[in-house]
Amino acid sequence: MSEPRISLGRPSRLTAPLAEQHLGSAETSHKNLRPKSPYRILYKRDIAADTAKEYALGTMKTPRSRASSRIHHAFSRCRNIALAAVVFCAVFAPTSFAQEAGAKEAGLRQIRSYIAAAWDTLTRSLTDCKVIVDPKLASASVLYIPAGFDVPADVQQMQKRCKVQVKHLPQVIHKLGEVDTSNLEPPGLLYLDHKYVVPGGRFNEMYGWDSYFIVRGLVEDKRIELARGMVENFFFEIEHYGAVLNANRTYYLTRSQPPFLTSMILSVYDAQKAAGHEDRAWLERAYGYASRDYGLWTREPHLAGTTGLSRYYDFGNGPAPESVKDETGHYRQVAAFFLGQQQDEWRNYVVPKKEQPHVGPLFALQVCDSTKTMAQAGCDSAGAASLSADYYKGDRAMRESGYDVSFRFGPHGARTHYFAPVCLNSLLYKTEKDMERMSEMLGRKAEAEDWRKRAEERKEKIQKYLWDSEQGLYFDYDFANGKRSTYEYVTAFFPLWAGIPTPEQARAVMQHLPTFEKPGGLVMSSHETGGQWDFPYAWAPDQVVADEGIRRYGFSEEANRVSYEFLSTVAENFRRDGTIREKYNAVTRSSETQVTAGYHINIVGFGWTNAAFLVLLHELPETSVTRLADEQTAKAGSGR
């Protein structure tokens, strides 16, 4: 006897069994510490931590090149004998120190050249017509300039040369959410007055948190003026668009991104100072803008209930415009997922049309016979439904977090706006400590003391709400339900980066390193959800934050090992196809991805991965850098 099935169409038909492909099989709770999950959880790790460590230490049974082995053994013999013997040993070693240094430089020259060239390839300015292009949308873009702002000469020249339409925004903007972005048609690029580096691919604008890592990479490559110009652009955004934006497009006028502004400011300031060009006047100006940006996160609606902590929140409503083209069918898939769940908590995100004015697209519902024959199944209409307004609020807040798509804040990020996240509040603590430092440098002692107190208050709240003493790990806090999440996520290392934990807490966090460590670096979580910000993917920004946090608490050996795993993955894939990508599979050490939630492509470029390569490489000991160079020059097939 056939069984009925529910079908969801817009316009094609998607049946409930197909929606279950997103569900996976829930596994038994490990030691009863976790609630039943609507998605697959990998309690038994696919790759053992010992295997990852074996690779990073170079003891895996894969032979290194003969030249590399000769150097290694010759240096080992030389290391433990007297100075006079070192001279003798160096003479007869197969490769001299000078030759080794040259080989190291040659081994990394190609990937370093790629990164150096990419800074120029990914730089956008008004002298280039492609700056206006928006790969995420089908319509031709427009350049918008602030209301009442004189049209700059370079914009007038671009208007003639590129045949670009230029418009003024309809009003002066003081804060996010003041402008109804749905009335800005067509959507367009927001004017910035300095050059900037974009991530690449579909991301052809200047992004908030991407830019911190890009700035770090530019500083490593001595491109300090370009880095400073990007920070200046954020000052322009605060002055004319109300905040550091997700990115400089009109549809991002409703949200920001993780707050790294003070970290960017100090990165540039310290680099200028090291180069003999300390600029206190610039720091004074930067301090004012940083204070204004900080205010966004410490007032409603960015407050996480009564916790005294902060949350992600987007002022807009309905579907995120940037999802329309490159994430075709995404919201239909989300609706199918929720319809396939047993718990009302998730099913209620799909709302029948008759119950309320719908937000976003409508989906046709059908009830169909389930048949195993080739005969066409009989179907009856079950009306239409849409995703709820609250789902879209969560989806937009997830996008402000930068971690889109992850199931960290509920399936498809639907409850992001009900959490006080570890990452955000660690960043705000770091911001408060940075502002304290800047105040001291500027001679503002009273303000420095005020920032110190704010930081201490936030630290106390982080320890109260986000620290789980039983688990020995930081978790996001669900302030709506008054409980911590149990979703282990790599952002647990953000507090170490910011300097929040005690040494004992840091040691407890490090006990969880095997949860995240895979052959290709640190995986985002142990949850395989189909989202690109979950298992099995490793992302550059979190590698940098975790690496520096781990080092800060004295775990240098672990930091070197984990950094090498990620660096060698990037380098190995670069040897294969000559590109650097947005993300990597940390289990297979491959740039091949199988993302099913959100946009599916793995973008070439890529701004923050290029930067992370330079930053992590700088922190590695010389022996590890030499080994990485040896792998780059080895014949195909001789390495891992």
Give catalytic residues, as residue numbers.
Answer: 404, 582
Closest CA to 496 of 586, 420, 422: 422
Residues 22 and 530: beta-carbon distance below 8 Å: yes
Q: Which residue has the tokens 């940390």?
A: 586
Host H or E run for residue 584: strand 583-585
State the maximum Cα–Cα separation within the chain, in Å, rounded to a whole number.
91
Host H or E run for residue 189: strand 188-190
d(CA 611, CA 437): 25
What are the angstrom distances between the C-alpha of 46 and each of 377, 528, 536, 640? Answer: 39, 11, 10, 18
Dihedral, CA atoms, 77, 82, 86, 89, nearest 10 degrees?
A: -50
d(CA 265, CA 426): 17
Residues 6+ apart with CB under 8 A from 39: 22, 23, 24, 26, 407, 411, 527, 528, 529
Dihedral, CA atoms, 529, 535, 540, 545, nearest 10 degrees?
A: 100
Angle at 140 between CA 135 and CA 141, to 5 degrees: 80
d(CA 342, CA 547): 40
Residues 119 and 226: beta-carbon distance below 8 Å: yes
Residue 321: CB atoms within 10 A of its CB come to: 18
Instruction: Give the HSE-up count for residue 8: Cα atoms under 13 Å, Cβ half-sphere.
Output: 26
Tokens at 117, concatenated: 């060239």
Host H or E run for residue 417: none
Rg of the chain taking only CA atoms, in angstroms? 26
d(CA 626, CA 592): 27
CA atoms 303, 305, 309, 314: torsion sign: negative
d(CA 169, CA 149): 9
Packing angle, helices 83-92 and 66-79, rounded to 10? 160
What are the angstrom distances between the C-alpha of 372 and each of 4, 14, 369? Answer: 12, 16, 10
Residues 438 and 283: beta-carbon distance below 8 Å: yes
Q: Are strands 142-145 and 166-168 parallel, antiparallel or unpaired?
A: parallel
- DSSP class of 534: S
Angle at 133 between CA 129 and CA 138, to 5 degrees: 145
Host H or E run for residue 585: strand 583-585
d(CA 551, CA 619): 9
Helices (H), 166-252: 208-220, 224-241
Dihedral, CA atoms, 226, 231, 235, 241, nearest 10 degrees?
A: 90
Host H or E run for residue 167: strand 166-168
